[in-house]
Each structure stands twice: as structure tokens, then as C-alpha cells.
Structure 1
Amino acid sequence: MIAIIDYGMGNLRSVQKGLEKVGYNGFITSDPEQVVSAKAVILPGVGAFADAMENLRESKLIPAIDQVIEQGKPFMGICLGYQLMFEESEEGGLHKGLSIFPGRVRRLPPGLKVPHMGWNQLTIRQASPLLEGVPSQSEFYFVHSYYVDPADPSLIIATADYGFDFCAIAGRDHIFGAQFHPEKSSDLGLKILQNFGRQVEQ
């Protein structure tokens, strides 16, 4: 079973339905013990970084996420959930993140339409089990005003171009993050969810 963390800021049901379509059971939970006992975990999210971190703290979910990472279980952040995986964000001041990966979340550069919303191509920078069967230059659905700037370039799995190249997928081992919404990205988005689900079987 794959836990989908409910901290009051995510498209939870759409992620759950996406997993169901590719044959995996996802359950929505805000219970830290259920998160820790799950075989894999997805952290979705839509909204403000600081509010999200506060909700995770109040729900006592941060130690549970840390434990999942330490245990080496498959973990995936989506959209805001992906940004929360990094050390800090400049959104609304400087706010500390989960520090799963080193790096900072930054505002999209001046002169670009914000939010970046709609379909955009991925350029695959390195092989990843998350992208098995997904061709480079495939399109996925984005909605965001901030982007992740990883401190370690080896984390960058795929980039997208929105006036500049930004990190659209980051990851290492069984830990992944995606700026776009796979659950809203048609068949190839579902393929990514399927590939994540397969990590549970390994």
C-alpha cells in the first residue's frame, strides 16, 4: 500500500485515482504511524510553502517522513510536495523545508508569466526508474510560481524550459520529486505513477 499524505494542501483524490488506474492501492492518511508503516509514500501539495511546513509540523508528520527516508522506502513529492523536499524556500520570506535534498526553492525569474501553467516538455538528463518508458521531450502538466534549484547537480533527472532550464524532476535511489502533476498528465503521467509503484515491488 502507498500512503498519500494528507496535510490539508493536496489534490489527494486525483493522485489516489491515478494510482488505482495503474493497479496500485493508495490510501490517504494524516496518521504518522500509517505513513511509517506504508510500503511507499507520496507527498502531494498545492499552496504556500510556509503554510505546508506548518501543517506538517502540527500534524507531527515530519518525523514520520524522516523515518520513511531513513528506512529507504520509495518516496515521491509532487508539485509543492516536491519543493518541500529541499532545504529552504524564498516564498514569502525564507522558510526551512524538509531537507531531504540540498537546495533552495526560488521565484520564477522576472519577465516570465507567473504562474507557469500548462503543458511543457521534459528533457531527460539521466536515466531513472521513474522515467522508464517515457521518451525525452514528452509533455507534462505544470502549475507553479516557484522552482527548485538543487545544490547538487547530480540530483537533476529531467529539466523543462520556461525561458530558462529548471529542474522538473529530482531524485536519488528510491527518492523522487516532480514539479509537474503526473496525475493530470494523461497516459505518460500515469506511466510515471506506475513506475513509482513498481519501486515497492523491488
Structure 2
Amino acid sequence: MTSSKPFAPACERNQGPILAVLREYFPDRRRVLELGSGTGQHAVHFAPAFPDALWQTSDVEENLSGIRMWLDEAALPNLPPPLTLDVTGKWPDARFDAIFSANSLHIMPWPAVEQFFSGVGRVLEPGGILAVYGPFNYHGAYTSDSNRDFDGWLKQRSALSGIRDFEAVDRLAQNIDCRLVKDHTMPANNRLLVWRRQS
């Protein structure tokens, strides 16, 4: 690993447990869009597990150079160059049968979370899978003291960010005709929410 390549320790820790869940839902997927690919670490770890799927990374422009470093080093045939994608802006014209995002909803303002789901509604095919990883509150309550502390840290960075309520997020998913398949318990008080879009 070169010193200039971005590295997120959290990705290194959570990629194994996330992949174990994605293996249940992604084996028959052919076009996966990863929203908010961050460093690119998840993509190079997950793409080899689904060799028949094109794994399309995406993020805001300033993160793309770091993602390209990981993709170039991995040189995997199913990892095309990353897309510039801000959920509040233009979305690709392409369609996907799976969408994955990790640790994204709590760093966006709530209107951007709404636009995240609106955009998913435009590009996710009927029968498609939406998988979102991160911390969530339930009935307005934190699931752990560490999540409460993390939420405080997020709000210090930006008053508009913060851990989202599962119920509010699930309503946005339902609005685009996605129904919850399973809410997976993950390490470090995180969840992996999996929805399927209705036909």
C-alpha cells in the first residue's frame, strides 16, 4: 500500500461481516451500484466475491482519485472506473439490480437522505436489492452508549448530520416501493438493512 492511497480502518474491520451478509443477496446480481464508495476498499474486497456482477463505485468528485488508486491496484475486470455521483445532483442514466452503501446516511443532511432514496427509486430495477450499512436508532432511542457518543461527535462536526431513525429511513424506502427483507445485526452496534424493490 502506497502512502498516498487512502485507508479507512473501519472498512478493514467491517468488510468481512458485511460480505458475509451480501453473499446471501448478491450472488444473482449483475449490476451493483455502490453509493459513497469512500476510499474504494469495500469495492476491491467485495467485487471478487461476485465475479459475474459489474461493481460500479461512485462518490463525490474529491474522493474519486483515492478510489481509482485502489481500483487500479486491484485491476479487477468487474470494477469499472468510479462515477461522480452526489446524491443531491445528477444520477446516472443506467439501471442497477443492486445498490449498496455503507456509513453514508448519518453524514448527510436529512434532505440529502431523502434525495438518496429518491435517486435509488430512479435507478433500482424492480426486484432489485438495496443494502445499507451503518448505525441506526430505533423509536428515537440509541442502541448503545457508543452510538450516543458517536452521534454527539457527528453533530459537533455538522449540526445537520447524525444517526438516523430506522423508522424514518424505512418510510423513505417504502415510498419507492422497497420492502424490508431483513434488518441484520452487525458488529460495533451497526446494522445492515436489506430491502427488495417490488415488481
Note whether the superposition's TM-score is higher than 0.5.
no
Structure that is richer in strand per residue: 1
TM-score by length of 2: 0.39
TM-score by length of 1: 0.38
Structure that is richer in helix per residue: 2
